[in-house]
Amino acid sequence: MKVLFDTDVVLDFLLDRKPFSAAATRLVARVERGEIEGLLGATTLTTIHYLLAKALGKDAALSAVRDLLALFAIAAVDGRTLALSTDLGFPDYEDAVLHEAARLAGAGTIVTRNGDDFQGAALGIDSPEELEAALAAKEDSESSQS
């Protein structure tokens, strides 16, 4: 399953923003173990670098970006993605861009704490807790069929 991680979830993980970091960390661990394919929007990395550089310094920000690039696939943001995003009617263009990048990359869902920002989405929108529950239910179903 391909899952695009919204910027807020990645920041929860990187900055250990409690109480949200626990679920974000568990989902990132699933990416590390290959249980889900994690995607990041290309624009997410620039936003993360900017915010981490302000909070932790440039070196820490670059290190975090390198680590994310090693772990996550990148959902491209190109002219087509940007153009398609203008017609979605989302309240926030940035969220529309992430949605289209996820859709064009073949993601099944976006994991975010801001689900209301993606109303009318053409793919699944899950909170970290909802995604964890869905993955656990799928694993339970698969193990009971074995």
Structure confidence by residue, pLDDT tens digits, 99-122: 999 999 999 999 999 998 898 899
The CATH code of the domain that includes 57 is 3.40.50.1010
State the pTM of this model: 0.93
Domain span at residue 124 reads: 2-145
3-state secondary structure of 125: strand
- Is the pLDDT at 14 greater than 80? The verdict is yes
Question: Which of these, 46, 38, 55, 56, lies nearest to 102 by C-alpha position?
Answer: 38
Q: Which residues lie across from 130 on neighbouring strands?
A: none
Q: Extract long-range pairs of 129-133: CB within 8 Å, 24+ residues apart.
A: 129/23, 131/3, 131/27, 132/23, 132/26, 132/27
Q: Based on the structure, what is the number of domains in the chain?
A: 1
